[in-house]
Structure 1
Amino acid sequence: MPMILIKGSYLIKGFEPDGDTIRFLPDDPTLWSKVPGGVKVRDGGASLRLDGIDALETHYQGVGPEFAHQPLDLGAHAARNVLLAWLGFTDVQRGGDEKVTSATPETVSGYILASGADKFGRCVAFVGRGTPDPDAASGTSVMVTVPMVHQTANHELLSRGLVYPTFFSNLPEELRVDMAATARQARATKAPDSVWANDVTHTGAVIEDLGSLTDQLVILPKLFRSLADYLRLFGPSLDAFPAFLAGKDDEYFFSDPRFTTKGLQHVVDVIGNTVKLRPAIEDIVFLEK
């Protein structure tokens, strides 16, 4: 599937970038109209969701009046810091709300390979720095190859084990297969600063309360978001968590897109206060809603 190459600049001052989300301003903002799905644009720029990966949450709101986060010192801040440094930002200063107050330089040039927009209006993209190789005119539809993906921040974060693989149906199969292999290698390596060093998604997360999620347990962010919402709505008992998952709109397949399953309750085990995802996350492909 071709993607839209757009050249421009990353900017972080006044925003809350994390390990898989950052602000991008095209040199020509009219090119947003070429991205399928309807990108939500403000002042010419838009929020990007890095394709194929999911970083630990640093400021998730969901149903709560206040933001929740995953363990900040066990990977949430590491992914964000590496993304910004890889792009070229230094001396990044933040307020207590995770918002960037200053950075050097204020903007960094780069490019994105955009496949579409998600339901929140974020542009789903591969994120590159400098000039793409091979180069093409901004706004051009290009066929993205595995070597091109290896030049992006998406691959950098995934190969270092700083983020989880999380695949949606818009991601071409060739790229998905390569990213899955990259994720498996990172999980096998279990670098000390990686999410895999402390991950309990597949071994079982023992959840006492919301604090278990925010301060202690490293789990797949997609599962964290559902658990955080459930706990804030219904309290510590997980008895109704499978029903809660059934009420969400997650639809996915494993190898054949013709055969989809609705609801993560089919692949998530809940035994007492322990939650475990059975299949490897890189084997699941979610339908983009």
Structure 2
Amino acid sequence: MSMVLITGSYQVLHDRPDGDTVHFLPQDPGFWCDVPGRNRVDRDEHGGASLRLDAIDALETHYKGVGPDFAHQPLGLGAHAARNELLKWLGFTDIVQDDTEKVTASTPAAVPGYILTGGADVFHRCVALVGRGAPPSVGDPPKPARSGFRLDVTVDMLHDTVNHHLLSLGLVYPTFYQSLPDHLRADLTATAQQARTAQAPGSVWLNDVTTTGAKIENLDSITEDLVMLPKLFRRLVDYIRLFGPDLGCARAFLAGGADEFTLPEQPKPPTVGLQHVVEVTNGSTLRMTRPIEDLLFTEK
């Protein structure tokens, strides 16, 4: 499957970037109309839009969900590390944020780059592979591709993106959707598995309890102490805020979330609900029974 190339710049002032979300302003916002799929990209008054980095999921720094307040995952155990590495890799040298994670000053104001996208998500964020500097070259003789060009993205192109970079450092989790081409997913799976084995300093894998088991006593357990898959964290934050920390009904709650995914041994029809890959013991300990890279999610 080809992806659409769009050139432009990354801008973070007055935004809340995290390890898998950043703001992008195309040189020509009209190219948002070329993004494939049924979900349109929501744009601001300047033509910019929020990007969700394809194939990865970073620890949450400001999840809203159910309730009046933002919730975050352990900030010192990877949440800020992924965000900081993303901004550094893009070319931002100095970022100032307030207590709500909003950027109040950035140096430089913008950095040039490009995205490769196959569509937008249900929140109307553009889902993209994120590159910096000049876009990939195509043709003979090779010339930088222009906005609107549809590229069959190679593994080499993938390795020039921050998506791959963050995954290779173990700063984010792999999270795959069906729109991602199979050969790119295979490479990212191997990259994530290598990072899990290496457990480099700062890696989420050093403290990950997603499959080993998270003993949850209260909301602070998952916001301050335990590192887990962000998708699972978001579901648990909502559950605990609504029903409290006893996990006796957690699997039933996950069934209502209607996450759709396939597994290698069951490519179709999709499995509905994370309860199929989650077990709860003693009413307080939860774990996923499959590594996240085994799940291929359906983008709704």
Q: In structure 2, list runs of 5 or more residues that go unmatched.
A: 138-143
Residue identity in the other structure for 2:94: D
Secondary structure at the aligned position of 1:114 is classed as: strand
TM-score, length-scaled by structure 1: 0.99
Secondary structure at the aligned position of 1:9 is classed as: strand
Secondary structure at the aligned position of 1:239 is classed as: helix
> Do structure 1's residue 100 and structure 2's residue 100 form an aligned pair?
no
> Do structure 1's residue 48 and structure 2's residue 51 form an aligned pair?
yes
Q: 1:67 aligns to what?
A: 70
Residue identity in the other structure for 1:125: A
Residue identity in the other structure for 2:9: S
Shift of 1:260: 1.6
Q: 2:275 aligns to what?
A: 265
Number of residue pairs the alignment of both structures matches? 289
Q: 1:252 aligns to what?
A: 261
Q: 1:278 aligns to what?
A: 289
How far apart, in 1, do the equivalents of 2:101 and 2:174 lie? 24
How far apart, in 2, do the equivalents of 1:89 and 1:233 lie? 39
Work out which of the residue numbers 138, 143, 150 in structure 2 matches 1:141.
150
Secondary structure at the aligned position of 1:178 is classed as: helix
Q: In structure 1, list runs of 5 or more residues that go unmatched.
A: none
Work out which of the residue numbers 176, 188, 194 in structure 2 matches 1:185.
194
Residue identity in the other structure for 2:29: P
Secondary structure at the aligned position of 1:258 is classed as: strand
TM-score, length-scaled by structure 2: 0.95
Secondary structure at the aligned position of 2:19 is classed as: coil
Shift of 1:91: 1.2
Q: 1:203 aligns to what?
A: 212
Q: 2:140 aligns to what?
A: none
Q: 1:160 aligns to what?
A: 169
Q: 1:79 aligns to what?
A: 82
Once the two structures are aligned, what percentage of the paired residues are identical? 61
Shift of 1:133: 2.3
Q: C-alpha deviations, 1:167-194, integer Å up to 9, x for none? A: 0111111100100000000000001210
Q: C-alpha deviations, 1:5-39, integer Å up to 9, x for none? A: 00000000000000000000000001001112201
Shift of 1:249: 1.7
> Do structure 1's residue 30 and structure 2's residue 41 form an aligned pair?
no
> Do structure 1's residue 121 and structure 2's residue 118 form an aligned pair?
no
Secondary structure at the aligned position of 2:99 is classed as: coil
Q: 2:141 aligns to what?
A: none
> Do structure 1's residue 175 and structure 2's residue 175 form an aligned pair?
no
Shift of 1:259: 3.1
